[in-house]
């Protein structure tokens, strides 16, 4: 059998069986892997642009609201680590650049022991850039399965990440230690309101199960670029609510698997980063 024809986007071209004259239809080719790209970027210039994005945020009401909300959840506790997944190409994309800027502002405000970042699409020189900004790049794609510290609060930042990544994160931390997590990501409430329960309970069961026991504060989308932080909320799993749950609630199965999704890049799709 001959190999399937692929177009420039990496999709297999097929023709409808009903009519051979139909135009080719794109379907994802499951054999494709994302390989680490080595694209040259001007690191110093990119850092200058990121500093400008930081200044944008520092002069905004949006950052004031974020800091106020995070501080209210923390009370007198100190953040021990910040984990950020899914920033995208911080050297090229204005949205990614400003999302990174928020991370840097949170780093400055919280002064944690460490700040960890990962995105399977980072260029090698973007990893260099992030190191220069005082961030540690996680070298492998753990698909969100990062286990937070039990020594104090972890601030977790998933900017516009797919729900599967958040579901994996909850699975890997499933238990009372979720009280040590403050999660900034797409709104749980919006997800629950906009998709059928029967679908969510099957596709992202850990988000679905924890939602009723979550304290969520929606962040007003007041930043001058409205496509950067839209639908973002801060979520907390407070100790008082978690203590009311019985041990059966925390029973979990194997790591979740997903089908028919194009937004979630798994470890099988991308090679280990060479940093």
In this structure, the answer to whether residues 202 and 110 fall within a common structural domain is: yes
Q: Are 57 and 19 found together in one domain?
A: no
Are residue 180 and residue 68 in the same domain, yes or no?
yes
pTM: 0.83
pLDDT for 39 equals 84
The answer on pLDDT for 58 being more than 90 is yes
Q: What is the mean pLDDT of residues 205-223?
A: 97
Q: Are residues 19 and 49 in the same domain?
A: no
Amino acid 51: pLDDT:
98
Tokens 């090698």 locate to 124
Q: Any idea what the CATH number is for the domain that residue 118 is in? A: 3.40.50
Question: Quick check: is 257 in a domain?
Answer: no
The answer to whether residue 107 is domain-embedded is yes
Assess whether 75 and 156 both reside in one domain.
Answer: yes
pLDDT the model gives residue 259: 80
Binning pLDDT at 50, 70 and 90, where does residue 266 land?
Answer: low
On whether both 127 and 57 belong to a single domain, the answer is yes
CA distances from 5 to 20, 33, 211 (A): 16, 16, 44
Instruction: Tell me the pLDDT of the chain averaged across its residues.
Output: 86
The range of the structural domain enclosing residue 7 comes to 1-32
The CA-atom distances, in angstroms, between 146 and each of 12, 34, 140, 270 are 34, 21, 11, 18
148 with 172, same domain: the answer is yes
The verdict on residue 116 lying in a domain is yes
**pLDDT class of 169 with cuts at 50, 70, 90:** very high
Split into its structural domains, the chain has a count of 2
Taking alpha carbons only, the member of 182, 170, 169 closest to residue 233 is: 182
């Amino acid at each position: 059998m001959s190999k399937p024809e692929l177009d420039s986007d990496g999709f297999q071209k097929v023709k409808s069986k009903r009519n051979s004259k139909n135009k080719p239809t794109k379907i994802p080719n499951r054999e494709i892997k994302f390989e680490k790209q080595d694209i040259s970027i001007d690191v110093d210039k990119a850092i200058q642009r990121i500093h400008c994005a930081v200044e944008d945020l520092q002069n905004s009401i949006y950052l004031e609201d974020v800091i106020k909300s995070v501080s209210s959840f923390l009370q007198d506790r100190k953040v021990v680590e910040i984990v950020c997944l899914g920033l995208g190409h911080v050297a090229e994309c204005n949205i990614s650049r400003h999302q990174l800027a928020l991370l840097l502002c949170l780093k400055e405000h919280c002064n944690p022991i460490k700040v960890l970042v990962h995105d399977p699409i980072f260029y090698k020189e973007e990893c260099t850039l992030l190191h220069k900004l005082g961030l540690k790049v996680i070298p492998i794609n753990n698909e969100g399965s990062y286990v937070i510290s039990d020594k104090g609060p972890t601030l977790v930042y998933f900017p516009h990440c797919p729900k599967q990544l958040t579901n994996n994160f909850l699975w890997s931390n499933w238990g009372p230690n979720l009280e040590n997590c403050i999660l900034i990501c797409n709104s749980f409430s919006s997800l629950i309101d906009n998709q059928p329960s029967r679908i969510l309970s099957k596709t992202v069961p850990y988000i679905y199960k924890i939602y009723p026991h979550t304290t969520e504060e929606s962040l007003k989308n007041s930043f001058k670029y409205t496509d950067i932080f839209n639908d973002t909320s801060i979520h907390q799993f407070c100790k008082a609510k978690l203590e009311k749950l019985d041990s059966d609630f925390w029973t979990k199965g194997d790591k979740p698997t997903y089908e028919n999704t194009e937004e979630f890049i798994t470890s099988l799709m991308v090679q280990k980063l060479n940093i």
